[in-house]
Amino acid sequence: MNINSPVPVGVMGASGYVGQELLRLLTRHPGAAVVFATAQSAAGETLDGVTLVRVDDAPLARVEIVLSALPHGVSGRYVREARAAGKRAVDLSSDFRLSPEAVYGLTEVTRPRLPAAELVANPGCYPTAALLALLPLAQHGLIDQSREVVIDAASGVTGAGRTPRRELLFGEVAEDFRAYGVGNDHRHLPELKATLAREGGFTGDLVFTPHLLPVKRGILETIHVPLTRVVDQATAEGIYDAVYAAEPCVRVLRGALPSLKDVVYRNRVAIGVALVANVRRPRLTVIAAIDNLVKGAAGQAIQNMNVMLGLPETAGLVC
């Protein structure tokens, strides 16, 4: 990494929760320099020493790569503009996650495809945790595809973005806990299914239920996995250890289960497993935790950017 010539980077949607996290991390990144950062209603304000400009005024010519934390539906248009100007891009919205135009940026899984990628689609926050938890089991043929995998996931309120909504007021969420999007049609489900099939050969059913947790940041997923055969605790943990031994941003817990404290403000997924007793067919409970704004968004985008640019993968990140 040449710290004398940091890579010029543009951040779109920098006043949002994810964009703020991108700025926080990039302004401390030893190999990157933020050249512009955009906002809509917050244009003109200054964040981390950068004055926010409107996205239509972004000086695209001055950057090498753009990171977009614009809302889905909006992001695609501006990422295409950046691409038309010859710029590489990491899109943090869902606009390219199912598109052949982009490389899917689940770093630990798709790393070899990133250095040549012009456009990377950063995974969703819920899918990042679920996929890193499920893919090792799928790749080992351990998931019984005739039964459903059930994912119960809870996210802190920053997961819903910064636009004010009545149901997200402190008075509504504090000291409460509730499911939402019940019925298995959450917008992250197609991304989860497509990636599990492509990277893990899993084509069975998933049942995904998100919950709103009254904390600022963090996702905890309890994943109920039907198994093709009985495994013991050491074997189950050993599968994760083998897949992730060399991964700086994955922590496999032995004989313990993760909680949000293990991951908040870190670009890390923490995974723990527990055997399920008192059932007739074999089953494993996998618990995965991430910070939705870091490994679930801004941190993983920077991890992907680092690999794209040939920088040390964890530059600017705390895993």
Rule CB under 6 A: which residues touch ligand NAP?
Answer: 13-19, 39-42, 55, 69-72, 74-75, 92-94, 124-125, 158-159, 161-163, 292-293, 296-297
Instruction: Select 83 or 283, whichever has its Cβ closest to ligand NAP.
Output: 83
Q: Is 249 a catalytic residue?
A: no
Nearer to ligand NAP (CB atom), residue 160 or residue 253: 160
Residue 52: how many CA atoms within 13 Å on its side-chain side? 22
262 in Cβ contact with 289 (< 8 Å): yes
CB of 19 to ligand NAP, least distance (A): 5
Nearer to ligand NAP, 131 or 293 (CB): 293
Min dist CB 32 to ligand NAP, Å, is 19
For residues 268 and 249, what is the distance between their CA atoms, to the nearest angstrom?
5
By C-beta, is 44 or 255 nearer to ligand NAP? 44
> Are 69 and 53 spatial neighbours (Cβ–Cβ below 8 Å)?
no
Query: Cβ distance 58 to 38 under 8 Å?
Result: yes
Closest contact distance (angstroms) between CB of 11 and ligand NAP is: 9
48, 29 Cβ separation under 8 angstroms: no
What residue number has its CB nearest to ligand NAP?
Answer: 16
- The closest alpha carbon to 243, from 111, 116, 90, 102, belongs to 111
| Number of neighbouring beta carbons within 10 Å of residue 178 | 13
d(CA 257, CA 166): 34
Of the residues 125, 150, 212, 236, only one is catalytic, namely: 125
- Supply the minimum distance, in Å, between the C-beta of residue 105 and ligand NAP: 12
Active site residues: 125
